[in-house]
């Protein structure tokens, strides 16, 4: 057990129309440290009426406020000020993220660095955006395509990368000139609350960024079943994504949903051995597998499969799990009892379905871990196939399944045999095979001889049931923009449709 688990002190109010305030009914929620299972903070819990207030504030700030018409250079400056404040408070934000999610401090620090990069990237991108002139071939007509903010945005984030995922939404929304309501996961709201304080300090105008924390099941209707919202960006589970999409459709509200994945990591016999072992492990066991792009399906060449799996099993047993605040920990606990229950139930089902448990399958055999924490050891199931729930479902935990292939065609078919399509990895030293595979895989991101990396400048999102829409990159900004065509006749004359009727 490691040090500082005292109650995380401070106001954790809602932020609506530039004011911090308690929930309408005075309600609060206990926030749990996953490494101990004990309460370390208490936050205000919004009511549906609070959510409606937040939408009204964002609506007024969009319809009558100055932000949508603020020059792009000023909006970009604001994003850079936010990035500078994130740099200043990085250590504290990383600590909060670790206490809230359980991930290691090293991972939290990388998250905050990525958040900073996203704000800087969108500041620069917005400044280089330009209108598009269209030559319509009509004398005196100037035809332009311009981008305008889409309006009021509802931004709903999950618990696995709390600040990172909300920042992928807030940064482009802000620079596009939108106003918004941010709703972090009720499981991990603290870094978002701290971040909104930084936005206030940086000078985000009242009403532009509003914050309501609380259960999605309670706030969802108020946030999505309304004509006052123009765009909903959601990251989370498939079933929630469906509910939100159906509700939004009633109002013809635009929606972008990122719903996770069941990501294949395909290893050919000629792949570099050491980096393959290393990255297959990191790809699935980092953050205890609670990553939407986690490489949970190992699809390995039969020629090396037994030896490769033996190597993984040996190394998986050495991964040091522990409190994220302990610098010796390489991975942390699961986020909640609910996730722990889910893993235990998948282990039971997989065993019934005939998968062979090679390691893990329950808590690590250690007596130095806090018994209240949500510990689940790196787990490998061999001899798996697509009939098994553990291969089809997004388990969202540290469970690797192993399938074997004999030909590249088989590997490709297996890699695409999923309802999802978020990310995939291919490992081979044959460039032609690699190119064939990366072009054939129906996934939004494909890594060749690497795994897990992304950059703010490249789009992120899924094929299939991994969602629709894209975050990051130019498309991630375009989600927050309307496209308008302006046809400007600089020399109008009355010589068109009804001229002859008048003459007759």
Q: Which is nearer to ligand TXE, 109 or 393 (CB)?
A: 393
CB of 413 to ligand TXE, least distance (A): 24
| List 97, 258, 394, 403, catalytic entry | 258
Q: Which is nearer to ligand TXE, 5 or 251 (CB)?
A: 251
What does the alpha-carbon distance between residue 101 and residue 451 come to, in Å, rounded to a whole number?
A: 22
How far is residue 289 from each of residues 161, 269, 359, measured CA to CA in Å?
A: 12, 25, 15
What does the alpha-carbon distance between residue 329 and residue 27 come to, in Å, rounded to a whole number?
A: 35
What does the alpha-carbon distance between residue 110 and residue 364 come to, in Å, rounded to a whole number?
A: 26
Q: Is 292 a catalytic residue?
A: yes
Concatenate the DSSP letters of all residues of 270-293 into one string.
TS-HHHHHHHHHHHHHGGGG--TT
CB of 30 to ligand TXE, least distance (A): 16
Q: Is 200 a catalytic residue?
A: no
Concatenate the DSSP letters of all residues of 324-369 into one string.
TTSTT-SB---S-HHHHHHHHHHHHHHHHTT-EEEE-SSS-S-SSS
| List 153, 178, 199, 292, catalytic entry | 292
Total H helices, total E strands in the chain: 16, 20
Q: Which is nearer to ligand TXE, 122 or 159 (CB)?
A: 159
What does the alpha-carbon distance between residue 172 and residue 40 come to, in Å, rounded to a whole number?
A: 32
Q: Which is nearer to ligand TXE, 288 or 481 (CB)?
A: 288
Q: Which is nearer to ligand TXE, 216 or 434 (CB)?
A: 216
CB of 198 to ligand TXE, least distance (A): 20
Residues making contact with ligand TXE (CB under 6 A): 156-160, 183, 185-186, 215-217, 220, 223-224, 235-237, 240, 243-244, 258-260, 292, 394, 396
Tell the burial category of 57 from Cβ atoms under 10 Å away from its Cβ (0-12, 13-18, 19+).
buried
CB of 310 to ligand TXE, least distance (A): 29
The size of the chain, in residues, is 504
CB of 214 to ligand TXE, least distance (A): 8
Strand 28-33 to 38-44 pairing: antiparallel
Q: Which is nearer to ligand TXE, 45 or 370 (CB)?
A: 45
Closest by Cα among 23, 36, 52, 199 to 119: 199
CB of 260 to ligand TXE, least distance (A): 4
Cα-Cα end-to-end distance for the chain: 94
Please give the positions annotated as active site. 258, 292
């Amino acid at each position: 057990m490691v040090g500082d688990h005292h109650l995380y002190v401070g106001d954790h109010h809602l932020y609506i129309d530039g004011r911090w305030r308690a929930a309408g009914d005075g309600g609060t929620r206990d926030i749990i440290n996953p490494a101990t299972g004990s309460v370390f903070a208490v936050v205000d819990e919004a009511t549906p009426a609070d959510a409606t207030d937040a939408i009204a504030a964002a609506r007024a700030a969009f319809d009558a406020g100055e932000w949508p018409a603020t020059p792009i250079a000023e909006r970009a400056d604001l994003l850079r000020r936010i990035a500078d404040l994130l740099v200043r408070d990085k250590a504290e934000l990383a600590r909060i993220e670790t206490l809230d999610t359980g991930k290691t401090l090293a991972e939290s620090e990388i998250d905050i660095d990525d958040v900073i990069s996203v704000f800087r990237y969108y500041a620069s991108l917005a400044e280089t955006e330009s209108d598009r002139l269209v030559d319509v071939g009509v004398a005196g007509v100037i035809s332009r395509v311009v981008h305008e903010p889409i309006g009021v945005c509802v931004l709903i984030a999950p618990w696995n990368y709390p600040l990172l995922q909300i920042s992928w939404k807030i940064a482009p929304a802000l620079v596009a000139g939108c106003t918004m309501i941010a709703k972090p996961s009720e499981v991990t709201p603290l870094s978002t609350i701290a971040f909104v304080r930084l936005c206030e300090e940086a000078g985000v105008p009242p009403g532009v960024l509003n914050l309501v924390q609380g259960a999605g099941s309670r706030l969802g209707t108020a946030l999505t079943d309304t004509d006052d919202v123009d765009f909903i960006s959601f990251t989370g589970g498939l079933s929630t994504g469906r509910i939100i999409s159906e509700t939004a459709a009633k109002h013809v509200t635009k929606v972008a949903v990122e719903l996770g994945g069941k990501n294949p990591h395909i290893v050919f016999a000629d792949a570099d051995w050491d980096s393959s072992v290393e990255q297959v492990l990191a790809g699935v066991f980092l953050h205890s597998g609670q990553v939407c792009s986690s490489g949970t399906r190992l699809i390995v060449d039969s020629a090396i499969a037994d030896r490769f799996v033996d190597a993984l099993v040996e190394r998986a047993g050495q991964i040091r799990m522990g409190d994220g605040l302990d610098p010796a920990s390489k991975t942390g606990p699961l986020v909640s009892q609910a996730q722990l229950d889910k893993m235990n139930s998948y282990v039971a089902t997989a065993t019934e379905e005939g998968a062979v448990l090679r390691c893990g399958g329950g808590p690590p055999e250690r007596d130095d871990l806090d018994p209240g924490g949500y510990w689940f050891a790196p787990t490998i199931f061999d001899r798996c196939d697509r009939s098994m729930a553990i291969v089809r479902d997004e388990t969202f935990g540290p469970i690797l399944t192993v399938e074997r292939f004999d030909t590249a065609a088989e590997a490709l078919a297996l890699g695409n045999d999923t309802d999802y399509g978020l990310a995939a990895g291919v490992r081979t030293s044959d460039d032609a095979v690699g190119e064939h595979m990366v072009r054939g895989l129906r996934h939004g991101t494909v890594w060749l001889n690497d795994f897990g990396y992304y950059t703010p400048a490249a789009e992120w999102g899924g094929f299939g049931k991994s969602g629709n829409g894209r975050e990051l990159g130019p498309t991630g900004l375009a989600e927050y923009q309307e496209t308008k065509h302006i046809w400007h006749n600089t020399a109008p004359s009355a010589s068109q449709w009804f001229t002859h009727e008048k003459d007759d």
